């Protein structure tokens, strides 16, 4: 299981378009990537332009499928126009303990 925490900021004035792009991306991952077990976009309650994505992939193959997906290319293309590429932070995580239900 591969867990990823991705963070980046929405560019000023691009909130509405960014929200549309985010919703479309979430729907594409859900329908086209069976190996994506979780893919959840959040805004920070204190700073709503700060986006956090919590992602779980079944295995390395599912991670690779995500990276190479056409919708991922589209979403990536918004960095610069909707999202600030200088704010991107990607953390690869390993589960120690816990549950979801």
Residues near a copy of itself (CB under 8 A) are 3, 5, 19, 22-23, 25-27, 29-30, 37-46, 48, 51-54, 56, 91-101
Q: Smallest distance, Å, CB 13 to a copy of itself?
A: 18
Q: How far is the CB of 77 from a copy of itself (least distance, A)?
A: 18
Q: Which is nearer to a copy of itself, 40 or 88 (CB)?
A: 40
Angle at 28 between CA 34 and CA 8, to 5 degrees: 105
Q: Does residue 101 contact residue 13 with C-beta atoms inside 8 Å?
A: no
Which CB sits closer to a copy of itself, 28 or 79? 28
CB 51 within 8 A of CB 9: yes
Q: If phi over 0 gives left and psi between -120 and 50 gives alpha, with beta otherwise, what is residue 68?
A: alpha
61 vs 93 by CB, closer to a copy of itself: 93
């Amino acid at each position: 299981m591969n867990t990823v925490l991705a963070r980046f900021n929405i560019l000023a004035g691009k909130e509405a378009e960014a929200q549309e792009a985010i919703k479309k991306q979430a729907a594409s991952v859900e329908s086209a990537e069976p190996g994506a077990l979780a893919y959840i976009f959040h805004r920070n309650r204190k700073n709503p332009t700060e986006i956090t994505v919590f992602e779980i992939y079944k295995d390395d193959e599912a991670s690779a499928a995500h990276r190479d997906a056409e919708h991922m290319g589209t979403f990536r293309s918004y960095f610069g126009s909707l999202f600030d590429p200088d704010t991107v932070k990607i953390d690869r995580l390993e589960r120690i303990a816990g549950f979801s239900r």
